[in-house]
Amino acid sequence: MTTPPSPSAVDCYDYPQYWDLAFRDETLFEADFVESAFEKYARLPLRTILEPGCGGGRLMVELAKRGYQVSGFDLSEPSVRYVQQRLRRRSLPGEVFVGDMTDFTLAKPVDCVVNFVNTFRHLTTEEAALAHLQHVAAALRSGGLFLLGFHLIPLDADPECTERSTARHGQTKVTLTLRVVDFNRRRRLERIRFNLRVKSGQRDLKLQSEYDYRLYTRKQFLQLLAKVPQLELCGTFDFNYDIDEPVPLDDELSDAVFVLRKRDE
């Protein structure tokens, strides 16, 4: 038996090919949800989509394949380069750039903005989160949608939490373990340790990062949303992404996907 290498402390987001693989099973559900939410709630046809914090671009690439005009940005330069290459290799159009969710402007407004899998919770202060919502509202056309998915942490949630998932593609096997290593309800922060183990042929890579996430109860998110009156809450779903199964926005809900529509100006 070989001894696994010790994990290297890196920014896991600078390894988008592995991060992306770990979440690829979600992609088709998310892309289908974008289309069906648009059909049900938007007041315009879907042509242009922006993904802030696009990571390795799994969703952008899928949406570009379906014929939408996609754009996206991320703080991580390796991620941005990776998505640019992926689009180029498939001869798909799309604009990808380095940018910050709290401060971005687009040359033209878009029909839809998508932000799934807790990316929003990387904004660890109320000011940063508010700035994101305000910039999204400014980037949207009236009648367009902002689809926002992240974990609400109900007051009675167990702060001790570990999740593990494994994904395979060809010879490559990626195991992602997420562990809450600090939880502070008063400061509204939890610290999550990511362990990414990649095995591919002779290769055995162990990467480790820790990220702070902002905590939200249902009430705290609604209080934040009330500060951005341009965005209207149309429906709430869970991570099953089933448009025919809206879920009640109550204190039980943890895996929340919000459908927000830009009001007429």
Ligand X SMILES: C[S@@+](CC[C@H](N)C(=O)[O-])C[C@H]1O[C@@H](n2cnc3c(N)ncnc32)[C@H](O)[C@@H]1O
CB nearer to ligand X: pick between 147 and 259? 147
Residue 58 or residue 86: which is nearer to ligand X going by CB? Answer: 58
Give me the least distance between CB of 172 and ligand X, in Å please: 17
Q: What is the DSSP letter of 103?
A: B
Number of H helices, E strands in the chain: 6, 12
User: Encoding tokens for residue 229?
Assistant: 């009156």
- Closest approach of ligand X to the CB of residue 20, in Å: 6
Which residue, chain included where needed, has tokens 């009648």? 143
Q: Which is nearer to ligand X, 212 or 232 (CB)?
A: 212
Nearest to 258 by CA among 227, 230, 231: 231
Find the shortest distance in angstroms from Cβ 168 to ligand X.
17
Strand partners, 168: 173
Measured at CB, which residue is nearest to ligand X?
55
Which residue, 101 or 140, has its beta carbon nearer to ligand X?
Answer: 101
Residue listed under structure tokens 């204190």: 251
**Shorter beta-carbon distance to ligand X: residue 156 or 180:** 180
Secondary structure (3-state) at 98: strand
- Pairwise CA distance, residues 132 & 239, whole Å: 22
Contacts with ligand X by CB under 6 A lie at 13, 23, 52-55, 58-59, 74-76, 79, 100-102, 116-119, 122
Closest CB 185 distance from ligand X, rounded Å: 22
Q: Whole-number minimum distance, CB 58 to ligand X, in Å?
A: 5
What's the rounded Cα separation, in Å, for the pair 131 and 128?
5
